Amino acid sequence: MESSEADSRAGALAHTPAVSDALVLFGVTGDLAFKKIFPALYGMAKRGVLNIPLIGVASSDWSQSQLHERITSSVATTDAIDNNNAAHRIALEHLLSLFVYVKGDYRDTATFDAIKHALANAQYPAYYLAIPPALFATVIQCLGANGLSCNGRVIVEKPFGRDLASAQELNAVAGSVFAENAIFRIDHFLAKEAIMNILYFRFANSFLEPIWNRNYIASVQVTLSEKFGVENRGAFYETAGCLRDVIQNHLFQIVALLAMEPPSHRGYDAVQNAATNVFHAMRPLTAEDLVRGQYQGYRAETSVAKDSDVDTFCALRLYIDSWRWGGVPWYIRSGKCLATSAAEVTLWLKPPPLALFADATSTTSPPNYIRFRLSPNTAIALAARVKQPGKEFVGDQRELLMIDERPQAETAYERLLGDALAGNNTLFTHKEAVEAAWAVVEPVLKKHAPVIMYKSGSWGPAAADKLIALDGHWHNPT
């Protein structure tokens, strides 16, 4: 290794800035930038919290005006935008004034020289990799080799690898150039208000702790359903599938928030360590724990193999071998082309030890539950039995709604971008957690049963109902 490269890496690993003073966006002409990042940057500009140089990098032969047109078009698709509103025009003009465009190949030293020139006097740059995962390692290594990683941080989009080995390899590359606290692995699911409220609701309320364990909770369900299909993303989905794309990251993160022990203290490290311990306690999956499905018509999608065995639906049974959760089954499912688009968590409580009332036995009445509605609207509810008026001891189960949807000032990407630029790691994923989560699914990534076809608009293959039959049935969001 040449001395300049070694010095650059040593500097990057030794120091992490408090606040970034420039943002370099690799993949600025791509779909992710158009759909998520530009609207987030616009929101930050409108709130007056974005005042740093923005450098867009891509291989497309674009002019500065073409990039501005792309940004303007993206922002115009944002909900509740009034193009004639003065505040909108001011925010958009400010955002455009911050952007410059650098054209170049991600493997070419000349591209990184141009980035260095565009950064000018910036001392603490952040690099956002909104590019295909196959290019992550290449760009990170080039940032280090060209002296751009010193005092910087890197923001990496999921997926973080496609199995345990590739995740470990990517983490090793990133860790050779940037300090761990300068590596921000984005999972936008974690920044959604409803997801953050799981953590808050659990640990801000003392009444939950006595029942939040295997003695009172019989089983847990997590459902993330999508009514639509792959929508022209067939090429990507052929390399991923539902288990990799949704469950191993998004839904496992929800499980960690539900299952973790109380963090030992306030702060990023305590929360991350508690979540990572959950992944370590998860029992590795077996083929008997997993049902894989594929919606009818998937193989006719663009760029999908005619004999594809890729899962567009997964249901699995998971166990967390800890003192708190030993023996409690966790049922997780997700899929495309299902009956509705929604995300919910349901924790089913065990029945009372003695059935005092005939209408409230475990065989005649549904169990009590706690329900978190995560999308498209949000709610936290408790289901409990309430006596009907009259002399007879007969009742109904009613939901007590504790919180419902409230307007969210920031989108998930706004919050994450702001946190990354500020150096706040709380809502980002640690490397040990990434690798531990991959270790859980590793046994079934290749050794599994073939996919089972299911009809669009259903709740997936019937085998998923058999998977959960011993512990009840799926709660289907409406």
Q: Which residues are catalytic?
A: 250
Contact assessment for residue 272 and residue 433, using Cβ atoms and an 8 Å cutoff:
yes
Amino acid at 166: S
Best CA proximity match to 127, nearest among 148, 113, 103: 148
Q: How far apart are CA 298 and CA 132, in angstroms?
A: 23
Contact assessment for residue 348 and residue 367, using Cβ atoms and an 8 Å cutoff:
yes
* Packing angle of the helix pair 164-177, 136-145 (nearest 10 deg): 20
Q: What is the DSSP string of 282-339?
A: BPPP-GGGEEEEEETTGGGSTT--TT----SEEEEEEEB-STTTTT-EEEEEEESSBS
Contact assessment for residue 388 and residue 395, using Cβ atoms and an 8 Å cutoff:
yes
Best CA proximity match to 266, nearest among 189, 203, 181, 201: 203
CA distances from 265 to 201, 203, 384 (A): 17, 12, 33
Q: Is the dihedral of CA 242, 245, 246, 252 positive or negative?
A: positive
Q: Where are the alpha helices (DSSP H) in 159-304?
A: 164-177, 193-204, 234-239, 242, 252-259, 268-281
